[in-house]
Amino acid sequence: MADDGTQRAAALFDVDGTLMDTVYLHTVAWWEALRQAGRQVPMSVTHRSIGMGSDHLLDRLLGEDRDKDGDSRLTASHDALYAQYWTRLAPLEGAADLLRACADRGWQVVLASSASSAELRVMRDALGADEVITAVTTADDVASSKPAPDLVHQALERAGVPAGRAVFVGDAVWDALAARRAGVRCVGLLSGGMSRAELTEGGAEEVWEGPAQLLARLDESLLAAPGRLAGAAE
């Protein structure tokens, strides 16, 4: 049943690891791109950086004081390696139905992803829920990706709602940090491989196993109904 409140509200969703089972594919692609460039970075460290855009990810993996002339080649290598999986990308269980359930309850569904526009288009096709997606924003739309709040601010602008009328759903600590810096409440998912402690320390108010569990227990979550969200009177 749609919300009967007088103000709109938005459910903002990360995509990689939140709706799509792609985090470990990105981990392998970045690991191999770095290896080909002669840089040995453990997969465990690389995995903990997924969810950032390439700008922050390379700073974290290689140091901010590195020679950045090779960054574009590293990013291009990652993109080419990851593109080999495009035809096999799969949504996480319950992901599309979660978006539909949120839309049915009156939420505007907005995707806020650190992926490129091309990658997001492929994931949207695999997800198969375009009919309920109101707007999208990607790393191509902002100057700085997560954990900077720029993507969240852009998503709020495209939804036409203030921070107090939105909830962000993500799987990485970088999602939680970006949401917190934008003043948006955050729901965390374990489906990207980060721990409950990491997500809560980053700012997630509640943590679920993945989209299927969140869908099954939607009435217990921050996404129960837009009318229950703090900020309704703003």
Distance CA 152, CA 56 (A): 16
Q: Are 108 and 174 contained in the same domain?
A: yes
Question: Tokens 């035809």 appear where?
Answer: 87
What CATH number did the domain enclosing 30 receive? 1.10.150
- Within this chain, do residues 124 and 142 fall inside the same structural domain, yes or no? yes
Residue 220's pLDDT is 97
Residue 11 near residue 102 (C-beta atoms within 8 A): yes
Domain identity same for 188 and 128: yes
Same domain membership, residue 220 and residue 106:
yes
Are 52 and 133 within one domain?
A: no
Within this chain, do residues 108 and 201 fall inside the same structural domain, yes or no? yes
Is residue 172 pLDDT above 60, yes or no? yes
CATH number for position 214: 3.40.50.1000
Number of domains within the chain: 2
The half-sphere exposure of 199 on its side-chain side, counting CA atoms within 13 A, is 27
pTM metric for this prediction = 0.93
Domain that holds residue 56: 23-84
Q: Residue 230 — pLDDT band, cuts 50, 70, 90?
A: low
- Residue 4 forms part of a structural domain: no
pLDDT at residue 233 in the model: 32
CA 36 remoteness from chain centre: 27
